[in-house]
Amino acid sequence: MKRKEFLKTTLGAIGLFGLGSTILTACKKDETIVASNSSTTDPNPVEVTSCATATGFQKIICLVNALKAQLDATQLAKLQLNYSKSDAVRWSNFPQQLFNLKRVGLNFGAMNEVQISYAKALIKELSSNNFSNEGWDEIQQILNADNYLKTVNPNGGYGSENYYLAFLGIPSATGTFAIMFGGHHLAFQNTYKDGVIAGVTPSFRGIEPTGTFNYAGISNQPLEQENNAFLAVLNSLSSSELATSKLSPAVTDLVAGPQKDSNIPTTYSGIKCSNLSTTQKTLVLTAIKTYVLDVAEYASFLATYEKELENTYISYSGNTSLTVRGDYFRIHGPSVWIEWAVQPPVALPQPHIHSVWRDRTKDYGGN
């Protein structure tokens, strides 16, 4: 039985993302269920013993300093930059070699395996670790996907060595700084102000191949929960609700994707959640959780989105199966913005996925 099928069977009766009792605490450090390539080119996160007793923000700073201690001066100069919005917006769905702006920071390919393991320890700490196929688990599976693509097209710029980590501003308890990590089909960005999380978006996720693929001895399905959550929402709608939800004109690609920070419309389209049943609203919230639960410090963001759920809209274009190029789904609230778009094939024959989560007031920490 695949990991996802097991989880669905086990958790189905109590809700896939209900908080509290559904937190998979037993999975936190069980490396056998976390998709990870333990080869020398893509090592697992190291357990940084000097940071073992630290918690919260202090542990983040401890892990930052532990990573810096592993680097030479040339590497540090690439990793540690001044904070600037112009650098913060340099994220993309493209591999680095196809991205005109180019990501800033230090890429895994410029690190040795020990240094990568320290970098991954930090990224894992910033991500959630209590939910299977979300957070760090999802990030590692996306890295696995890019390593898989490299076996298909060695010259396409694919592979985890082309993922970049950057510190914009010096991580400390005072001032503003951001920790960025990303590469092909991945953008992760946490912004802090005076030691407090100020933003966890923009957050981009994509996947090729779609469906299940095997890499590093692991069966990977990194965005299956998001896809299934959107399908559950669409399948719950009546024919009249579907008609209200369908966008006209059709939208076939991300509206607020990379370098499109100002593209979120000020007017809403689709069906308002206040017009949905309690069950349907729960399905919408479950879909939102598949994004928010990717980050460790999700609580305040989730609380806001839940509070604003009545005034949140859902909409779609194309087919409700979300399998055909141009199929599209959107969640648009006073704060939350989530998009899912089925893209044409690139490295493999089947269509692939682009998706983005933005916060309309807290992208880039509100900067």
Tell me what pLDDT residue 41 has: 67
Tell the residue number behind the tokens 């680097």, with chain if given.
Answer: 71
Tell me what pLDDT residue 23 has: 30
Q: Residue 249 domain-assigned?
A: yes
Answer yes or no: do 289 and 353 share one domain. Answer: yes
The length of the chain in residues reads 367
Six token digits for residue 51: 């940071």
Tell me what pLDDT residue 267 has: 97
Tell me what pLDDT residue 14 has: 32
Angle at which helices 224-236 and 278-292 cross, to 10°: 160
- Whole-angstrom CA distances from 190 to 27, 49, 77, 312, 366 are 24, 24, 20, 24, 11
- Whole-angstrom CA distances from 358 to 137, 188, 245, 246, 292 are 21, 11, 21, 21, 10
Averaged pLDDT in 10-residue chunks for the chain of 367 residues: 37 39 31 37 93 98 98 98 98 97 98 98 97 94 97 96 98 98 98 98 97 91 97 98 98 98 97 98 98 97 98 98 98 98 96 98 96
Output DSSP code: residue 246: B
Which of the listed residues 197, 220, 243 is the one where a domain comes to its end? 220
Q: In this structure, how many other beta carbons lie within 10 angstroms of the beta carbon of residue 32?
A: 8
Which of the listed residues 220, 253, 272 is the one where a domain comes to its end? 220
Q: In this structure, how many other beta carbons lie within 10 angstroms of the beta carbon of residue 205?
A: 24
Q: Residue 18 domain-assigned?
A: no
Tell me what pLDDT residue 3 has: 37
**What's the whole-model pTM score?**
0.89
Count the domains in the chain.
2
Query: Taking Cα atoms as reference points, which of 138, 116, 253 lies closest to residue 187?
Result: 138
Domain residues for the domain of 213 are: 30-220
Tell me what pLDDT residue 216 has: 82
Q: Residue 35 domain-assigned?
A: yes
Six token digits for residue 3: 């990991």
Answer yes or no: do 132 and 214 share one domain. Answer: yes
